Amino acid sequence: MKSLLSISDIKDDVRYILDLAIKIKAGDVEDKPLEGKTLAMIFQKSSTRTRVSFDVGMYQLGGRGIFLSSNDLQMGRGEPISDTAKVLSRFVDGIMIRAIKHEDVVELAKYSDVPVINGLTDFEHPCQALADVLTIKEHLGDWKGRKICFVGDGNNVSNSLLLIAPLLEMNMSVACPKGYEPHEDILKTAHEYAAEHNTEIIVTDDIGVALENVDVVFTDVWVSMGDEAEKAQREIDFAPFQVNSDLMSLANDGAIFMHCLPAVRGQEVTSEVIDGPQSVIYDEAENRMHAQKAVLYYYLKD
């Protein structure tokens, strides 16, 4: 059973899915292609964009989403993930899960008879990466030869961007403090993809090097859900990596700013940047729905 747990799961079809997202956004697909389909939406973490975009996306495609929090499921009371997967597979056509641990999503997909979509884990955020590159294409044109930079924590968002960038022939840099680099397995795979597509991956704590010839600047919160115990130290370590006007001036003229949201204005990014003319954060947020509608069509359409 095909599932979307990682960008690597769609490495051969990523352009097809993005082209489909563009068509869906433009209204160039059949009306209600997922009529009669049902998506179970499991949320172990709170959500604004993921919940609403998947729910509305399923509705607009003619299907239905069922919201299931940890309090709604026996999985939250000790039922094995395998049992939950097998039972839900008898009721629904697909499962989307926003999980605390990536291993839980892998296990859910292992025992599920329907596609499982990673709505976010501590390891990857593939739906966000798809929305991000869709936004880049809308604002900057073709992906080939562009350079993007993620500034801050080498987290799930940066992990998925590292995988998708070379697949679309983009170069990527990550500017982060020492000790906060992206996961070594992700970097290994990203370098392999970069070699295949003649692109470059750079990870450095030198902001000047990272921002050289950059067309897109990304950042994310310094303290993700689950990292609260490290809050004080993280705020110290990441302070030099705040995305402000001085940092943005190091990027190319016409560079855009992106953030997956929610943001802490005055921390990882200043209000001047996130609310300024280079920011495309609301287009990026909207594109979560369009990218995910393409994913749903790809996985659930007969």
Hey, which residues are catalytic here? 98, 125, 128, 220, 260, 288
Q: Which of 238, 232, 302, 243 shows the shortest CA–CA distance to 275?
A: 243
Sign of CA dihedral 65, 295, 130, 82: positive
Residue bearing tokens 């705040």: 242
Nearest to 56, CA basis, from 67, 48, 65? 65
Are the C-beta atoms of 174 and 158 separated by less than 8 Å?
Answer: yes
Question: Cα separation of 302 and 300, whole Å?
Answer: 6
Cα(166)–Cα(131) distance, integer angstroms: 16
Q: Is 36 left (phi over 0), alpha (psi -120 to 50) or beta?
A: left
Strands 171-175, 147-151: pairing is: parallel
Q: What are phi and psi of 186, to 5 degrees?
A: -65, -45
Measured CA to CA, the distance from residue 225 to residue 229 in angstroms comes to 10
* Alpha helices in 65-125, H assignment, sequence order: 81-91, 102-111
| Residue 228: count of CB within 10 angstroms of its CB | 9
Tokens of 268: 């990882």
CA 60 to chain centre: 21
The rounded distance, in Å, linking the Cα atoms of 129 and 217 is 14
